[in-house]
């Protein structure tokens, strides 16, 4: 299996195995060859983390696993700079293993997608309840580039996920899908920014959050369309499902549109299970508890089914709601 392993935030080459077609360097080594590029993307040049470069026209068929292992409570700050060359494609599956109950992570990934490049990043964060986790993805997309980000979490004491995409050239596509299933006192914050800086690009955001117990969720998303970005198509949908009286959900959808020929929409709903739907199911012989779990499954399943490799673990989290 091809994988990049970070132990307590440190890249661990001895546990990692990288397909030979791609360049993978510890950040300090990358300074020598890719210093100019890195200086443009970072205000402070990172000296830890990993630099990954996929040369042009390489289509990796198997996903690369990005595994984080946490041994102790000290803050781990994994960092990746990923450059996907012209016409290349790559898929990442990120997950974590915890040997501590109180992990603390502050992770960053920067994606640079060249023309026609495509990247898929699937992040499943099933955290211990005392975890503190903050993870940011930022990205730039050139012409015809495609970026797809998926995030699923069960939340934690602090669990923050933020995804930014900057569509720099025409015909770029950015997709963000996220699912938070929060029970107990867990919380999840999801932030998204889709910045349209060129015409004819599309962005889509679908963020679903289901909350039981005394959990809390917050979604804040923005679609930003610059004056030049005519013919933009940008959609944002946030749905939050409250399953208890004590759970608290907040949503802050934003649209800032400075171009006049744009299709954009945003929707945010915070609701409980629908009484008419529950009655319909019960009137067919389902007990209220089975009817409720079926409706919760109906809410979450659309996104859970997108990650077959983690489906079982996510269904288990769903059943804790």
Partner 1 sequence: MHLIQIKNLHAAIDGKPILKGLNLTIDRGQIHAVMGPNGAGKSTLAKILAGHPAYEVTEGEIWFKGQNLLEMAPEERAHAGLFMSFQYPVEITGVSNRQFLQIALNAQRKSRGDEPLSNEEFEQLLKEKMVMMDVRSEFSERSINEGFSGGEKKRNEILQMALFNPDLAILDETDSGLDIDAMRIVAAGVNQMRNQDNGLLIITHYQRLLDYIRPDFVHVLADGQIVRTGGAELAQELEAKGYA
Where does this chain bind partner 1 (CB under 8 A)?
274-277, 279-288, 290, 294-295, 297-302
- The answer to whether 216 touches 247, Cβ cutoff 8 Å, is yes
Dihedral sign, Cα of residue 261, residue 263, residue 264, residue 265:
positive
Which C-beta is closer to partner 1: that of 20 or that of 285? 285
Minimum Å gap between C-beta 264 and partner 1 is 23
Q: Which CB atom, from 44 or from 284, has the smaller least distance to partner 1?
A: 284
> Quick check: 250 and 219 in contact, CB under 8 A?
yes
Positive or negative torsion for Cα 138, 142, 143, 146 = negative
Q: Which two structure tokens, joined as six digits, stand for 80?
A: 């990746």
Q: Which is nearer to partner 1, 152 or 194 (CB)?
A: 152
Exposure letters 75-104 (e unless 16+ CB within 10 A, then b): ebbbbbbbbbbbbbbbebbbbbebebebbb
- Of 56 and 298, CB closest to partner 1: 298
What is d(CA 266, CA 229) in angstroms, rounded to the nearest whole number? 18
From the CB of 248, what's the least distance to partner 1, in Å? 24
| Burial of 294 per CB tally in 10 Å (0-12, 13-18, 19+) | middle
Q: What minimum distance in Å lies between the beta carbon of 245 and partner 1?
A: 18
In this complex, which beta carbon is closest to partner 1, that of residue 259 or of residue 273? Answer: 273
Residue with tokens 């699912």: 179
CB 296 to partner 1: min, Å: 9
CB of 186 to partner 1, least distance (A): 23
> Toward partner 1, which CB reaches closer, 268 or 282?
282
- Nearest approach in angstroms of CB 239 to partner 1 is 10
The pair of three-digit structure tokens given for residue 267, joined into one six-digit string: 């929707």
Taking the least distance from each CB to partner 1, the nearer of 23 and 281 is: 281
Three-class DSSP labels, 76-126? ECCEEEEEECCCCEEEEEEEEEECCCCCEEEEEEEEEECCCCEEEEEEEEC
Q: How far is the CB of 87 from partner 1 (least distance, A)?
A: 36
Strand partners of residue 110: 81, 138
Closest approach of Cβ 300 to partner 1, in Å?
A: 8
If the CB atoms of residues 127 and 178 are measured against partner 1, the closer one turns out to be 178
């Amino acid at each position: 299996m091809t994988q990049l392993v970070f132990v307590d935030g440190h890249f661990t080459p001895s546990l990692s195995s990288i397909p030979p077609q791609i360049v993978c360097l510890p950040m300090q080594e990358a300074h020598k060859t890719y210093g100019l590029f890195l200086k443009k993307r970072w205000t402070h040049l990172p000296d830890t983390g990993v630099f990954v470069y996929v040369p042009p026209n390489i289509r990796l068929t198997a996903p690369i696993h990005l595994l984080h292992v946490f041994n102790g409570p000290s803050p781990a700050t994994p960092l990746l700079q990923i450059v996907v060359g012209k016409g290349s494609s790559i898929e990442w599956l990120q997950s974590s293993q915890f040997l501590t109950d109180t992990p603390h992570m502050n992770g960053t990934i920067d994606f640079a997608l060249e023309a026609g490049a495509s990247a898929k990043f699937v992040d499943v964060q099933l955290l211990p309840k005392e975890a503190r986790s903050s993870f940011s993805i930022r990205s730039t997309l050139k012409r015809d580039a495609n970026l797809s980000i998926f995030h699923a979490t069960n939340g934690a004491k602090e669990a923050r996920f933020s995804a930014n995409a900057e569509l720099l050239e025409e015909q770029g596509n950015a997709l963000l899908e996220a699912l938070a299933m929060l029970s107990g006192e867990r919380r999840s914050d999801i932030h998204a920014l889709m910045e349209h800086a060129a015409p004819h690009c599309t962005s889509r955001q679908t963020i679903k959050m289901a909350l039981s117990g005394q959990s809390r969720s917050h979604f804040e998303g923005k679609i930003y369309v610059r004056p030049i970005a005519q013919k933009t198509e940008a959609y944002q949908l946030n749905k939050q499902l409250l399953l208890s009286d004590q759970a608290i959900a907040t949503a802050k959808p934003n649209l800032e549109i400075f171009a006049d020929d744009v299709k954009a929409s945003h929707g945010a709903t915070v609701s409980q299970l629908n009484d008419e739907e529950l009655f319909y199911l019960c009137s067919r012989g389902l007990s209220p508890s089975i009817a409720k779990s079926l409706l919760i499954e109906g809410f979450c399943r659309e996104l859970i089914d997108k990650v077959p490799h983690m489906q079982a673990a996510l269904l288990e989290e769903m059943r804790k709601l």
